[in-house]
Structure 1
Amino acid sequence: MNISTGKVLLTLSSVWSACGSYRFDWNETHIHNPEWPPHAKFHNAQTMSTGAVLGAAATYLLWGRRGAWTKERLQVTTAAASVYWVTQLSATLYPGTALFDRARPGAAEGAVPPRWRGPQTVVAGTALVVNALAYALERRRLGS
């Protein structure tokens, strides 16, 4: 088993993808929010499951498969580790979406919640930068 910086970075991103939404969504602001209709909770649950499956798939591709670590396997692994984060960023482009249900405390009366500026975009952007760095490191290690 060959442990490299790129594989470690992809592993961290994949584990965060698999577990992060449970850390931040399994609470009264999301899945246990009495103000959310059941269908909204369904889609939140779907998103959490998607992150878990993609993170598990990327981790399996990194460490669970036998055989050579190839450029093609690196590409599929990096894609699996990145899809959750790309979809999280793209969600801000849909009509009526916002990163928060209400404007933050201390905001002006009638303030609208931010559509794309918030911790989610920082986390998703950081994960994608980490994945790009991991990909570049592994490509160089495998030989361009």
Structure 2
Amino acid sequence: MTTLYYTPRLLLTLIALITITVPYLADYNPTHVFNPTWPGHARLHNGQTMSLGVYLGSMTLWKTWSSSSEQDRLWTATVIAAAYYVTQGSAYYYPGATAWDPPQEFGVPYVHLYVVVPMLALVGVAYGLERWRFVGEGGGKEKAG
């Protein structure tokens, strides 16, 4: 197999592993999960978000390395890999949403977009590289076998 064959899969695998682990690194701490000022409903949504990361990352890994058709695998893995970052970017449009909770402060507004935009760019690169490979290996048609 060529490097071009594995590069998109490795990029999607990296994205999946980041999606699974970073929400816990960022949120399983005194400013989020253990924040005594948070009401129970806020904790519920924080837990949902962390679980969403595990679910989406796991689905990305499964579809990236599954034996389904290459184009189906690519499209499904790409959509799953992008979902967490699309929803994270959209969170700023909810009323009262802020990037940080007290006692933290950060001088850059919309700081999470510094994560969202690069991650979506990586998803786009992985998708584009794999589409390019498909075209190079037979005009976009699936390989036999």
What TM-score do the two structures reach when normalised by structure 1? 0.84
Paired AA for residue 44 in structure 2: F
Q: 1:9 aligns with which of 8, 11, 17?
A: 11
Q: Distance in 2 between matches of 1:56 and 1:75?
A: 15
Paired AA for residue 45 in structure 2: H
Q: Map Cα deviations across residues 6-60 of structure 1 (whole Å, 9 max, x no partner).
A: 1111111111111110011000010011111111000000000011100000101
The equivalent of 1:104 in structure 2 is 105
RMSD across aligned positions (CA)? 2.0
In the TM superposition, 1:69-84 aligns within 5 A as 70-84=70-84
In the TM superposition, 1:42-121 aligns within 5 A as 42-63=44-65, 65-68=66-69, 70-102=70-102, 104=105, 114=109, 117-118=110-111, 120-121=112-113
Q: 2:124 aligns with which of 109, 117, 132?
A: 132
Q: Distance in 2 between matches of 1:58 and 1:104?
A: 33
> Which secondary structure does the structure 2 equivalent of 1:4 belong to?
helix
Runs of 4+ with deviation above 4 angstroms: none
Structure 1 unaligned residues grouped into runs of 5+: 108-112
Paired AA for residue 78 in structure 1: T
Q: Distance in 1 between matches of 2:130 and 2:117?
A: 20
What TM-score do the two structures reach when normalised by structure 2? 0.84
Q: Distance in 2 between matches of 1:66 and 1:134?
A: 18
Q: Distance in 2 between matches of 1:13 and 1:142?
A: 21
Seq. identity, %: 38
Q: Distance in 2 between matches of 1:67 and 1:57?
A: 13
In the TM superposition, 1:32-51 aligns within 5 A as 32-51=34-53
